Chains A and B, each alone.
Chain A
């Protein structure tokens, strides 16, 4: 009888130990996932900021590029896929899907025209995908 109870004690101890190990491993996996996702998010935000930098460059005579009703509307071909390579020999690669739209803000200001530009960048290298939205207000002298 004593031998059987020892086996039961040992089995219970091993089950508890296994559960603890599984939980710890799951916790490690979650931590690694968070670390990797934060790295991907960091790069995705930077890519979205690159798009905003392009908008900053627009001159007054190019303001129709932000007018959704104009033939020069710059986001008419969006969403686009952008591949970025990194590293000494371009050994790392990220693929982004970039969407953008702009909207005229009618403030009735006789001197300034403003557009609200929204940029969405999706990085598909992790599941679920990382998505970043940035909004920028671009002003032009009338």
Chain B
């Protein structure tokens, strides 16, 4: 074989490999950025609904603050409060529950359902509406006026919520099949205005 032709093939081959590698890294970077944006959006959606709910704890509850919380567990928070100020009723019932039930609608094995149940007519349980969000971790802690953790519903002044959300699809899959998901954390203490007295 002609030496010049062989050299051309070798250099051309190297260039081709380099271009393929370049393409792969461009693709991975694009997927990572897209994953980060969609995951941030996903977290923002959950956080905005959750913050609206928690800021309305005990609002328009005519029986007083003593009845604000129904359940105050690490993975469940349910309470009374007028969420949307609708004229038809005083307060709504809201529950956020994380039972680690896998969310099979995404490819991420770490995704579990976080369920929000909202009932604007508490006297009619069948009217409850359920919304599902996909999160990897959800934990609630409750604090009293002195900042100490408490489990007594009547003493709760602050609620701390911690959420971890991961991207639905992996942004990178290694040669041995390990998948990397984009992950976001959110942790915040919320003092509901209606619990301050």
Contacts and interface: CB of A to CB of B under 8 A. Distances in A.
Interface of A: 3, 10, 14, 17, 21, 24-25, 28, 31-32, 35, 38-39, 42-43, 46, 49-50, 53-54, 56-57, 84, 86-88, 92
Contacts of A53: 158, 189-191
15 contacts: A17-B15, A32-B29, A32-B32, A35-B32, A35-B33, A42-B40, A42-B184, A43-B186, A46-B186, A46-B187, A50-B189, A57-B191, A86-B185, A87-B137, A87-B185
Interface string B21-57: 0100110010011001000100000000000000000
Contact of A57 (B18, B137, B158): B158
A88 B183 CA distance: 13
B143 to A, nearest CB: 10
B144 to A, nearest CB: 11
Nearest to A18: B18
B145 A57 contact: yes
A84 B187 contact: yes
A53 B55 CA distance: 12
B57 to A, nearest CB: 14
Interface residues of B, number: 28
B187 A24 contact: no
A25 B21 CA distance: 12
B87 interface: no
A73 B149 CA distance: 24
A106 to B, nearest CB: 26
A86 B22 contact: no
Given A21-B22, A24-B26, A57-B157, A86 B187 contact: yes
A109 to B, nearest CB: 22
A121 B11 CA distance: 54
Contacts of B157: 57
Contacts of A50: 188-189
Contacts of A32: 29, 32
Given A24-B26, A53-B190, A86-B164, 15 more contacts: A3-B4, A10-B11, A21-B22, A25-B25, A32-B29, A39-B40, A39-B184, A42-B40, A42-B184, A43-B187, A49-B188, A50-B188, A54-B191, A57-B191, A86-B187
